[in-house]
C-alpha cells in the first residue's frame, strides 16, 4: 500500500494498492476521525481483495 | 625501464587441455604464455612479458577452494612476478570465481598488483568487484581482443603505481569507491543536454544510475482471507514512542520488531514515526494513518481476517540502501514464514 505507485512498480511490488498521501497513506487529517477510519477500512478491504486475487504480473488495484 | 614480469592465470579450457571433462585438472605451472597469453604478451609490446602461466581446472579450483588457492599462489610466487593477470573469465561463473579469488589473494597475500576481467553478470564480478579491479568484458570469448586491449594498459598503469581514475574512465566494474574530478560543464548545462537528448530519442548517459531491482514471481492468492494470519510491515518508520531501538531517521541499518498483542489503537501517547523523509506530524498524531492496526483489529473481530500477526516489523525507507532492505526482507520473510503468517500488508510512505 503506497502513494507513489511508480516507485512500487520500479522496486517490483506485485500487488499494489494506491493510498491517500505520502505522510498519511491510510488517513486524512482534513477529515473527522470517523471519516478517516472509513477511508482506512475501504483501503484495507482493497488490500484484502488484492491478496485474494490471482495475478500473473505487477497489478495496481485502483 | 626493465621489462615487468607478468604471470597469467587461466583455466583448463583456455589452456586447451579440455572442456568440462577436464574441469578437475589440478594446478599446473608452465613457463611463458599459453593460449590467450599470446595476445596479452603482444599487447604488452615490450613493456612486460608473461614469464609464466598457472592453469587450474574450474571445478578443481572451486571444489578445493582453500587448497587450490594456496597451490596456485605458490606457483605464481615462484615466477617472482611484478604483475598478475587472471582470465578474463567473460561469463563463465566458476572461472570468474576462480579469477576473482586468485587476483584478490595475489593482491592481499603477495602484495603484487593483480587484475582480472569479466562480464558484468558473472557471479565473480559481484563477489570480487570491491577487492580487485575487474575490467568489464563481453559475455563470451569473442570479446577477447577488446578485453586484452582494455586490460593491458590498465594493468601496466596499476603496476607502475599510477593514479587510477574513475570506473567510467578506466573501464573497470564500479567498486563502490567514489573518485572526485572536475567536469568541464556545470551541472545545469549537462542536465539540459541530457534532457534534450532524451526528448529527441538520442542516447545519453545518466550520472545517477538507479540500482538494479530484482523481480519476483507473484505469490498465489490467499485462498481464504477469513482464515488467514496477516502481518503488518512498514517502511514508514512507525515505532513505539521514544524509538527504543534507535532506528535511524534515514539510511536505516536496522529494522524493529514490536509486539502488538492487546493493542487495538495506536495513539500519540504510545506510537510515533522515526522516519526523517516526510512530515511526521500526521503519523505522530495517529500512527494508524501509516500502520493500520485499529481497522485490522476491527476486521479480526468481525472475522473478516483470521488474525493480525502478533508482531509488526518496521524500518525507515528513505535513503536506505537496496542491499540493506534486501537483507532485512530476507530475515523478516523467514521469521514470518516460520510463524505461519499467510500474507503481509506492507505500507510505505
pLDDT band per the 50, 70, 90 thresholds, residue B288: very high
How many CB pairs below 8 Å do chains A and B form together? 100
Average pLDDT over residues A20-33: 96
- Give me the percent of chain B exceeding a pLDDT of 90: 88
Domain match, B164 and B233 both: no
- CA-based max dimension of chain A: 39
Sole residue written with cell 495513539: B267
The answer to whether the CB atoms of A44 and B278 lie below 8 A apart is: no
- Is the model's pLDDT at B229 over the cut of 90? yes
B216 located within any domain: no
Map B169-180 to HEC letters: HHCECCCCCCCC
Q: A39 — contact with chain B (CB < 8 Å)?
A: no
- Contact partners, residue B135, CB within 8 Å, separation at least 6: B88, B115, B116, B117, B118, B147, B150, B151, B154, B171, B172, B173
Angle B93-105/B65-78 helices, nearest 10 degrees?
A: 60
The answer to whether the CB atoms of A24 and B290 lie below 8 A apart is: yes
Which letter does DSSP use for residue B227 in this model?
A: G
What's the CATH number where B9 sits?
3.40.50.2300
Domain match, B42 and B130 both: yes
Q: What is the pLDDT of residue B45?
A: 94
B60 located within any domain: yes
Domain match, B109 and B238 both: no
Contact B221, A19 (CB under 8 A): no
Average pLDDT over residues B134-161: 96
B31 located within any domain: yes
Contact B297, B306 (CB under 8 A): no
- Contact partners, residue B128, CB within 8 Å, separation at least 6: B100, B101, B103, B104, B116, B134
Pairing of the two strands B311-314 and B256-259: antiparallel
Domain match, B9 and B115 both: yes
B192 located within any domain: no
Instruction: Tell me the C-alpha distance between B134 and A42, whole Å.
Output: 53
Q: What is the pLDDT of residue B175?
A: 93
Write out the residue range of the structural domain in which residue B311 sits. Answer: 225-347
pLDDT band per the 50, 70, 90 thresholds, residue A36: very high
Most B-contacting residue of A19, A25, A46 (CB-CB within 10 A), to test interface: A25
Q: What is the pLDDT of residue B1?
A: 61
Look at residues B137, B170, B203 and tell me which one is the last residue of a structural domain: B170
Cβ-based neighbour number of residue B50 at 10 Å: 22
Find the helix or strand (DSSP H, E) in which B240 lies.
Answer: strand B238-240
The answer to whether the CB atoms of B299 and A47 lie below 8 A apart is: no
| Burial (Cβ within 10 Å: 0-12, 13-18, ≥19) of residue B209 | exposed
Look at residues B170, B195, B214 and tell me which one is the last residue of a structural domain: B170
Most B-contacting residue of A51, A56, A60, A61 (CB-CB within 10 A), to test interface: A51
Q: What is the pLDDT of residue B242?
A: 97
The answer to whether the CB atoms of B210 and A26 lie below 8 A apart is: no
Burial B228-254 (b: 16+ CB within 10 A, else e): bbbbbbbbbbbbbeeeeeebbbeebee
Instruction: Tell me the C-alpha distance between B343 and A17, whole Å.
Output: 15
Average pLDDT over residues B179-193: 91
Chain B residue with minimum CA distance to A54: B221
Domain match, B57 and B151 both: yes
Residues in chain B: 349
Domain match, B100 and B249 both: no
Q: What is the count of structural domains for chain B?
A: 2
- Is the model's pLDDT at B268 over the cut of 80? yes
Domain match, B34 and B165 both: yes
Q: A15 — contact with chain B (CB < 8 Å)?
A: yes
Instruction: Tell me the C-alpha distance between B192 and B135, whole Å.
Output: 31
Q: A9 — contact with chain B (CB < 8 Å)?
A: no
pLDDT band per the 50, 70, 90 thresholds, residue A10: confident
Q: What is the pLDDT of residue B59?
A: 93
CA distance A17 to chain B (A): 9
Instruction: Tell me the C-alpha distance between B87 and B100, whole Å.
Output: 9
Q: Which of B94-103, B201-210, B269-278 has the lowest mean pLDDT?
A: B201-210
SS3 of residue B345 by DSSP: strand
Instruction: Find out whether the peptide bond into B88 is cis, omega within 30 degrees of 0.
Output: yes
Domain match, B138 and B234 both: no
Q: A41 — contact with chain B (CB < 8 Å)?
A: yes
> How far separated are the first and last CA of chain A, in Å rounded?
11
Chain A residue with minimum CA distance to B218: A14
Domain match, B128 and B11 both: yes
- Is the model's pLDDT at B323 over the cut of 90? no
Residues in chain A: 62
Contact B58, B12 (CB under 8 A): yes
pLDDT band per the 50, 70, 90 thresholds, residue B269: very high
Domain match, B120 and B28 both: yes
CA distance B224 to chain A (A): 7
Q: What is the pLDDT of residue B211?
A: 74
Average pLDDT over residues A44-54: 98
B193 located within any domain: no
Average pLDDT over residues B248-274: 97
Cβ neighbours of B306 in A, within 8 Å: none
Domain match, B127 and B254 both: no
Angle A33-51/B293-302 helices, nearest 10 degrees?
A: 70
- Give me the percent of chain A exceeding a pLDDT of 90: 90
The CB-based long-range contact list for B332-339 (8 Å cut-off, 24+ gap) reads B332/B233, B332/B255, B332/B257, B335/B257, B336/B231, B336/B309, B339/B229, B339/B309, B339/B311
Cβ neighbours of B296 in A, within 8 Å: 44
Amino acid at each position: 500500500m503506497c502513494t507513489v505507485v511508480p516507485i512500487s512498480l520500479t522496486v517490483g511490488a506485485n500487488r499494489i494498492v494506491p493510498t491517500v498521501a505520502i505522510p498519511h497513506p491510510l488517513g486524512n487529517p482534513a477529515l473527522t476521525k470517523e471519516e478517516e477510519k472509513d477511508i482506512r477500512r475501504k483501503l484495507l478491504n482493497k488490500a484484502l481483495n488484492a491478496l485474494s486475487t490471482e495475478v500473473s504480473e505487477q497489478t495496481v488495484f485502483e | 625501464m626493465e621489462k615487468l614480469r607478468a604471470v597469467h592465470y587461466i583455466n583448463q579450457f583456455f589452456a586447451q587441455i579440455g572442456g568440462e571433462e577436464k574441469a578437475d585438472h589440478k594446478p599446473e605451472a608452465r613457463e611463458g604464455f599459453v593460449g590467450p597469453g599470446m595476445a596479452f604478451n603482444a599487447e604488452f609490446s615490450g613493456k612486460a612479458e608473461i614469464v609464466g602461466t598457472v592453469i587450474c581446472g574450474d571445478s578443481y579450483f572451486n571444489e578445493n577452494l582453500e587448497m587450490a588457492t594456496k597451490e596456485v599462489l605458490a606457483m605464481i610466487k615462484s615466477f617472482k612476478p611484478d604483475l598478475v593477470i587472471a582470465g578474463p573469465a567473460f561469463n563463465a561463473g566458476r572461472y570468474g570465481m576462480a579469477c576473482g579469488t586468485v587476483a584478490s589473494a595475489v593482491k592481499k597475500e603477495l602484495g603484487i598488483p593483480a587484475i582480472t576481467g569479466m562480464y558484468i553478470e558473472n557471479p565473480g564480478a559481484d563477489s570480487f568487484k570491491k577487492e580487485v579491479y575487474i575490467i568489464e568484458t563481453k559475455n563470451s570469448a569473442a570479446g577477447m581482443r577488446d578485453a586484452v586491449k582494455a586490460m593491458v594498459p590498465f594493468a601496466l598503469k596499476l603496476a607502475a603505481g599510477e593514479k587510477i581514475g574513475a570506473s567510467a574512465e578506466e573501464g573497470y566494474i564500479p567498486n563502490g569507491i567514489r573518485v572526485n574530478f572536475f567536469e568541464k560543464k556545470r551541472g545545469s548545462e549537462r542536465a539540459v543536454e541530457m534532457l534534450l537528448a532524451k526528448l529527441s530519442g538520442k542516447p545519453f548517459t545518466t550520472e545517477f544510475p538507479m540500482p538494479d531491482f530484482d523481480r519476483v514471481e507473484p505469490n498465489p492468492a490467499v485462498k481464504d482471507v477469513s482464515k488467514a494470519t496477516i502481518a503488518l510491515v512498514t517502511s514508514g518508520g512507525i515505532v513505539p514512542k521514544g524509538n527504543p531501538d534507535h532506528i535511524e531517521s534515514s539510511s536505516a541499518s536496522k529494522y524493529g520488531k514490536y509486539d502488538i498483542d492487546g493493542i487495538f489503537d495506536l495513539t500519540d501517547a504510545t506510537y510515533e514515526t522515526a522516519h526523517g523523509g516526510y512530515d511526521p506530524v500526521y503519523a505522530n498524531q495517529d500512527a494508524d494513518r501509516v500502520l493500520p492496526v485499529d481497522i485490522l483489529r476491527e476486521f479480526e473481530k468481525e472475522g473478516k481476517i483470521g488474525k493480525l500477526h502478533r508482531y509488526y516489523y518496521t524500518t525507515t525507507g528513505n535513503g536506505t540502501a537496496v542491499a540493506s532492505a534486501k537483507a532485512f526482507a530476507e530475515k523478516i520473510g523467514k521469521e514470518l514464514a516460520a510463524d505461519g503468517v499467510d500474507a503481509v500488508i506492507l505500507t510505505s510512505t
